[in-house]
Structure 1
Amino acid sequence: MTASPTRRSVARTSRTVAVGAIAVASALLLTSCGDQTDGAGDDGKKAGGSQAPLHDQLPKEIQDKGVIKVGSDIAYPPVEFKEGGKTVGIDPDLAEAMGEKLGVTLQFNNGTFDTLLTGLRSGRYDIAMSAMTDTKERQEGIDPESGKKVGEGVDFVDYFTAGVSIYTKKGKTQGIETWDDLCGKKIVVQRGTVSEDLAKDQSKKCEKDGEEKIAMESFDQDTEAQTRLRAGGAAAGSSDFPVAAYTVKTSGGGKDFELVGEQVDAAPYGIAVAKKNTELRDAIKAALEAVKEDGTYDKILKKWGVSEGAIDKIAINGGS
């Protein structure tokens, strides 16, 4: 992680969401209301122990403890969030399935997003799984703004792909369809995400083109940014597409917000592992491959309405 980590790299690769957003958001509403497993949250159960098929691939220390400590910002529905006191969502469901293959509990520990990789490096967590984008900067420990090396970097096991979306109050788009339309307007974002980086980059572009800069307000959690926008404190908000679609469909019963324009910056989510923990990294990769091979991976993504984010092959450090 850099001093200002992002969920996305800053390359602009867009894809259309007009139809997909409606379909995905509708599916999210249906699935978020029922048919949920407990995942591998704070009360996840150890499954199989030494009899699990991949247990012996884990480092001995983790085999003995029976727990993989997961650092996660558990306020990012539908990727990970609290419901009825339990940690649920895409990541916890995948983690539970992986735990069954590995014979250990993947125990989620809540933290703010921009501190997760610091916690990973300090040993507070064994892995970080939190809608985190695999980027070269993170792999190499480079600050994306300064270009300077600020840490040893991490390895990623990639498992999903998504882009970034803009949303506004419903019926009050103010002509916003692209990032260029935000010049002279205010946006709210979560601190340390690609949405924040994109807003900074776009603001510089606006100024260079002779237009007013973008005003930006950043928050520790995405839900805080939503609250600010809902109260009329900004023209738009931005977050990862699965999160934006879920927010648009569920907030105020679908009456608060609407998606505008297209997704940008499609890139892989990765599970972060310290560079030195290659044995754990490879065990995580093997578990994800097994979950994908037996069909559980596709079932989980379908359950949360995000099948379009599936990747064909589990990869290590596939981000750019």
Structure 2
Amino acid sequence: MTASITRKTTTPKTRKTLNSRILAVGVVAVAGSMLLTACGDQTNSSKKTESTDSSSQAGAPLKDQLPKAIADKGKIKVGSDIAYPPVEFKDSAGKTVGIDPDIAAALGKQLGVTFEFENGTFDTLITGLRSKRYDLAMSAMTDTKDRQEGVDSETKKKVGEGVDFVDYFTAGVSIYTKKGDDKGIASWADLCGKKIAVQRGTVSEDMAKAENAKCGAKGKITIEAFDNDLEAQTRLRAGGADAGSSDFPVAAYAVKTSGGGNDFQIVGEQVEAAPYGIAVAKGNDQLRDAIQKALDAIIKNGEYKKIVDKWGVSAGAVTEAKINGGT
């Protein structure tokens, strides 16, 4: 089944505002083969840290591009919601795996450091950057102007100084339902009068809130927001919601894997295609630029292509590392 992308006119929150986008990018993929996509930060007390497996730091061509304190320390702390397969998640052995960890490990080879992933809830990741809890946030986070400027996408009020993004992937948003029971849902407008389960702070939540303003006599959308996407999937699977929504790669992965492929189906079109960005605190220009150079290097040497091919998400690949390319 092929998904097409429709550009919606809703204004995204800061995606996964912090908790997903509006950049018409052609992310068209076969749902059965696609394994990914939107988000997390850390209000959880169960803090877990795990380093990516980067190769020997000796001879790393871009190590001198890093801030000295980070280069000397030999590691970069990454805030991430590690419950968003196939972008980042725990495998059966408890190891952090996925698209983001693989890209981080490849970046680490260029920079001569390890990327240490720290688990947290999506909607607190940017706050963690501000407080210097993390050096970076890498969690299927959509690069939006609101996030860049520190603006709450719902209220349009300034809530922080914002962040810079190094864009490394593109993805859209999808709606999914229980398999064989779409409740007549084929678009966002069809959600009026129904209940949707989403991850808190994501573009999916933002879009549901924006759609509510247009529902009128059809009735409001009941929005149930959870700390992570897996909890939202569980709610839908149990019959507690009519639909769920997440980034297309994530939705496609859930459709393919949950219940052996028997739990969910994607309905309607993929919308709001936009870039994922690695978030860096404002003012940390040297680290931001080093990440950009390292990403360009792995795109050029073919490591990036190997990773997106491995996870079946080459349709969302970028050809260059852009800073703040989201709108």
Question: Do they fold alike, i.e. is TM over 0.5?
Answer: yes
1:20 aligns with 2:22: no
In structure 1, the partner of 2:140 is: 131
Contact 2:25 2:274 in 1 (8 A): no
Greater fraction helix: 1
Q: What TM-score do the two structures reach when normalised by structure 1?
A: 0.90
Q: Deviations over 1:41-99 (max 9, x none)?
A: 81434533352100110100001100000000000000000011110000000000000
Does the 8 Å CA contact 1:71/1:130 hold for their aligned counterparts?
Answer: yes
The count of residues paired between Structure 1 and Structure 2 equals 302
Which residues of structure 2 form unaligned runs of 5+?
Answer: 1-12, 37-48
Task: Provide the residue aligned with 2:81 in structure 1.
Answer: 73
Any conservation in 2 of the 1:14–1:264 contact (CA below 8 Å)? no
1:74–1:302 Cα change, 3 Å: same
1:21-42 deviation per Cα after TM superposition (whole angstroms, max 9, x unaligned): 23325xx7xxxxxxxxxxxx81
Deviations 1:2-28 (A, max 9, x none): 69924623x4859796x6223325xx7
Partner of 1:5: 17
Map 1:221-300 → 2, pairs under 5 A = 221-300=228-307
Q: Percent identity?
A: 67
- Taking structure 1 as reference, are residues 72 and 79 closer, same or farther at Cα in structure 2, changes over 3 Å only? same
The 5 A counterparts of 1:135-214 are 135-207=144-216, 210-214=217-221
Cα deviation for residue 101 of structure 1 reads 0.6
Matched, 1:44 2:52: yes
Q: Is the 1:14–1:263 Cα contact (8 Å) retained in structure 2? A: no
Q: Which residue number corresponds to residue 226 of structure 2?
A: 219
Provide the TM-score with structure 2 as the length reference: 0.88
What displacement does 1:129 show?
Answer: 0.3
Cα separation, partners in 2 of 1:14 and 1:70, compared to 1, 3 Å: closer
Provide the residue aligned with 1:88 in structure 2. 97
Q: Deviation string for 1:172-193 (max 9, x for gaps)?
A: 0111110011111110000000
Give, as a single letter, the amino acid of the residue that structure 1 aligns with 2:206.
D
Secondary structure of 1:20's partner? coil
CA shift for structure 1 position 312 = 2.0
What are the ranges of 5 or more consecutive residues in structure 1 without an aligned counterpart? 29-40
Change (3 A) 1:290 1:302: same
Q: RMSD of aligned C-alpha atoms?
A: 2.0
- The C-alpha deviation readout for 1:162-210, integer Å capped at 9, x for no partner, is 0000000000011111001111111000000011011111111112xx2
- Poorly superposed stretches of 4+, deviation over 6 Å: none
